[in-house]
Amino acid sequence: MVQSLPSSPGDDVGPAEASIAAPSGRVVLVEDTPSMARVYMEYLKDTAWPVDLAETGAEARALLASGGVVAVILDLYLPDLSGLDLLREIRAADQEMAVVVVTSQGSLQVAVEAMREGADDFLTKPFAADRLRVTLRNAVERHAMAGAIRRIKRELGREAFHGFIGSSLAMQGVYRTIEAAARSRASVFITGESGTGKEVCATALHQASDRARGPFVALNCAAIPHDLIESEIFGHVKGAFTGAIGDREGAAVRANGGTLFLDEICEMDLALQAKLLRFIQTGTVQPVGGSRLVAVDVRFICATNRDPWAEVGAGRFREDLYFRLHVIPILLPPLRERDRDVVEIARALLERYAAEEGRHFQGFTPGAEDLLSRLPWPGNVRQLQNVLRNVVVLNEGPLVTEAMLDGPRRHAEGRARGTPAAGPRGEPPGVAPSQAVAPASPLPLSPVPPPAPTSGAMPAGGLEAVRQAHGLRPMWQVEWEHMTTALRACAGNVPRAAALLEVSPSTIYRRIRQFGDPVTGAPPTEAGAAAGKDGGTASG
Ligand X SMILES: Nc1ncnc2c1ncn2[C@@H]1O[C@H](COP(=O)(O)OP(=O)(O)OP(=O)(O)O)[C@@H](O)[C@H]1O
Residue 26 in the binding site for ligand X (CB under 6 A): no
CB of 478 to ligand X, least distance (A): 21
Residue with Cβ nearer ligand X (197 or 442): 197
CB of 185 to ligand X, least distance (A): 22
Residue with Cβ nearer ligand X (164 or 189): 164
CB of 101 to ligand X, least distance (A): 46
Q: Within a 13 Å sphere around the CA of 137, how many CA atoms are in the beta-carbon half?
A: 21
Which one among 197, 376, 444, 532 touches ligand X, defined by CB under 6 A? Answer: 197
Residue with Cβ nearer ligand X (103 or 196): 196
Residue 382 in the binding site for ligand X (CB under 6 A): yes
What residues are paired with 304 via a beta bridge?
Answer: 191
Nearest-CB residue for ligand X: 197
Q: Which stretch binds ligand X (CB under 6 A): 187-195, 320-328, 388-396, 519-527?
A: 187-195
Residue with Cβ nearer ligand X (193 or 427): 193
The amino acid at 100: V
Cα-Cα-Cα-Cα dihedral sign, residues 293, 294, 295, 297: negative
Residue 498 in the binding site for ligand X (CB under 6 A): no
Site string for ligand X, 160-179 (x = CB under 6 A): ----xxx-------------
Q: Count the site residues for ligand X by CB under 6 A.
A: 19
Q: Which residues contact 370 (CB under 8 A, 6 or more apart)?
A: 402
CB of 177 to ligand X, least distance (A): 14
Which one among 29, 97, 123, 200 touches ligand X, defined by CB under 6 A? Answer: 200
Nearest to 263 by CA among 222, 205, 321: 222
CB-CB contact of 40 with 3 (8 Å):
no
157 DSSP 8-state letter: -
CB of 200 to ligand X, least distance (A): 4
Q: Which stretch binds ligand X (CB under 6 A): 79-87, 194-202, 208-216, 276-284?
A: 194-202
Residue 198 in the binding site for ligand X (CB under 6 A): yes
CB-CB contact of 431 with 422 (8 Å):
no
Residue with Cβ nearer ligand X (395 or 504): 504
Q: Cα(487)–Cα(518) distance, rounded to whole angstroms?
A: 8
From residue 104, how far is each of 87, 115, 195 by CA, in Å?
A: 17, 15, 64
Q: Within a 13 Å sphere around the CA of 305, how many CA atoms are in the beta-carbon half?
A: 22
Which one among 23, 25, 83, 192 touches ligand X, defined by CB under 6 A? Answer: 192
CB of 357 to ligand X, least distance (A): 17
Which one among 187, 305, 386, 395 touches ligand X, defined by CB under 6 A? Answer: 305
Residues 322-381 that bind ligand X (CB under 6 A): 345, 381
Residue with Cβ nearer ligand X (192 or 407): 192
Nearest to 123 by CA among 34, 31, 55, 42: 31
Determine how β-strand 399-400 pairs with β-strand 363-364: parallel
Q: Cα(501)–Cα(538) distance, rounded to whole angstroms?
A: 9
| Strand (E) or helix (H) holding 52 | strand 51-54
CB-CB contact of 534 with 386 (8 Å):
yes
Residue with Cβ nearer ligand X (43 or 216): 216
> How many other C-beta atoms can be found within 10 angstroms of the C-beta atom of residue 441?
10
Q: Cα(385)–Cα(437) distance, rounded to whole angstroms?
A: 26
Chain residues binding ligand X by CB under 6 A are 164-166, 192, 194-200, 305, 345, 381-382, 385, 504, 506, 540
